[in-house]
């Protein structure tokens, strides 16, 4: 299973979340609450998929769904360190759901 296309799509979406200026300084970025909402919704979606694949014993589809987390990583670029706590709680809820 190859996740390169998904990761490439995520990397191409990063400029929609933040705009860089001279010397890679962040000029504008989407508010953190919106980025956290995007991640929370995507984590909920992948958790439902993983739960369904686990209950139906679809190992290959489950492995493909786990690769979705690699696509989420580039979308974390506009978040600051203080937003990590909110993302941690979102991920913890997903973990408890599965």
Tell me how far apart the alpha carbons of residues 55 and 42 are, in angstroms, rounded to a whole number. Answer: 20
Tell me how far apart the alpha carbons of residues 15 and 11 are, in angstroms, rounded to a whole number. Answer: 8
Tell me how far apart the alpha carbons of residues 97 and 92 are, in angstroms, rounded to a whole number. Answer: 9
Residue of 91, 77, 74 whose CA lies nearest to 6: 74
How many separate domains does the chain show?
1
Please tell me the predicted confidence (pLDDT) of residue 47.
83
Domain hosting 43: range is: 4-97
Q: Is 98's pLDDT higher than 60?
A: no
Indicate the helix (H) or strand (E) that contains 14.
helix 4-17
Question: What's 46's DSSP letter?
Answer: H
Averaged pLDDT score across all residues of the chain: 83
What global pTM score does this model have? Answer: 0.74
Please tell me the predicted confidence (pLDDT) of residue 83.
82
46-94 pLDDT per residue, tens: 888 888 888 888 888 888 888 888 888 888 888 887 787 777 776 776 6
């Amino acid at each position: 299973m190859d996740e390169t296309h998904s990761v490439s799509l995520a990397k191409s979406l990063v400029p929609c979340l933040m705009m860089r200026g001279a010397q890679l300084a962040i000029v504008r970025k989407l508010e953190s609450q919106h980025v956290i909402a995007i991640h929370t919704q995507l984590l909920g979606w992948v958790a439902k998929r993983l739960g369904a694949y686990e209950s139906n014993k679809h190992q290959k589809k489950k492995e493909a769904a786990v690769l979705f987390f690699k696509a989420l990583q580039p979308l974390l670029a506009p978040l600051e360190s203080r937003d990590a706590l909110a993302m941690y709680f979102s991920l913890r809820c997903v973990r408890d759901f599965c």
